Amino acid sequence: MEALRGTGMHGGRPASVCFVPRKGPVRFASRGHAVGLHSLTVAHTRRSTAVNGPCGVVSTVEHAFAALAGAGVWRDVCVEVDGDELPLLDGTAAPYFDAIDALAITPCPPPMVIVSEAVIEVEASRYEFSPGQDVHVEVSLEWHDDRLAPSASWRGSKTDFRERIATARTFAFERDLSFLGATGLARHVDPASVVLIARDIHFAGRPFTSDEPARHKLLDLIGDAYLHGGPPIGTVRAYRPGHTANHAAFARAKELGVLAARRV
């Protein structure tokens, strides 16, 4: 199992992660100490999701967690992190997915299921939950930019996740640059890993498509949901999702009994 190595998006420090086959529930390890996925809690959601790991805060976990969800891996792996952040790599979840897929772990359904309809609002964001037979996740955005598609969805297919969702790159708006520069966030990011949406849309490598930002927001939602045992079986429709609202909505859905453990 080769480690994926790079730099953290926000801290700019060396970072690596390795997916190691290990029987039992998914575990998360740093500095030689491991805990079960269910023991992780959200540390903060400043432009990424950071968790309280076994030896301190580990940031930018959402792409790796999304890849695990997309591959249908809910057990038999340990995510071993070296550093206080996961590497950005090429700005997508594709390298994570491929590393996980190479382990040939048998996919299984997510452990959580939607058992009742509910609408949960978190400030300007809204999440609609409804029961169903399969995983179905949708995001709707308000870009105020006609060049960008306003929505994206995923119906639980592993192949579709790899081809369409995992490949969506991290993006930033021109209005974010002054904040990022002032705080030092993203100062070590390879320009090829990020799509910059300004008067012109700047990108390197493969072509940009109008729905790529929406697909990346969907990717982030899937990764955030993984920390809560999702995306669950059923339909989740998220309007104006974001990391903070994602975690609040899924936590609230659990509290209300909208989400329940799947019967095995």
Domain limits of the chain? 4-261
CB 62 within 8 A of CB 114: no
> Which stretches of the chain are assigned E, i.e. beta strand?
4-7, 14-25, 27-30, 33-36, 41-44, 50-53, 56-58, 75-82, 112-114, 118-122, 125-130, 135-140, 151-154, 170-173, 194-197, 201-202, 234-239, 259-261
127 CB neighbour count, 10 Å cutoff? 24
Helix (H, G, I), strand (E, B) or coil at 259: strand
pTM over 0.95: no
DSSP 8-state class, residue 233: B
Of 10, 216, 243, 247, which is the active-site residue?
Answer: 243
CB 118 within 8 A of CB 229: no
Enter the CATH code of domain 4-261: 3.30.1700.10
216 is known as an active-site residue: no
DSSP 8-state class, residue 162: I
Task: Tell me the pLDDT of the chain (264 aa) as tens digits.
Answer: 689 998 877 777 889 999 999 999 999 999 889 999 999 999 999 889 999 988 899 999 999 999 999 999 999 999 999 989 999 999 999 999 999 999 999 999 999 999 999 999 999 999 999 999 999 999 999 998 999 999 999 999 999 999 999 999 988 887 776 545 444 445 556 666 788 888 888 888 888 999 999 999 999 999 999 999 999 999 999 999 999 999 999 999 999 999 999 987
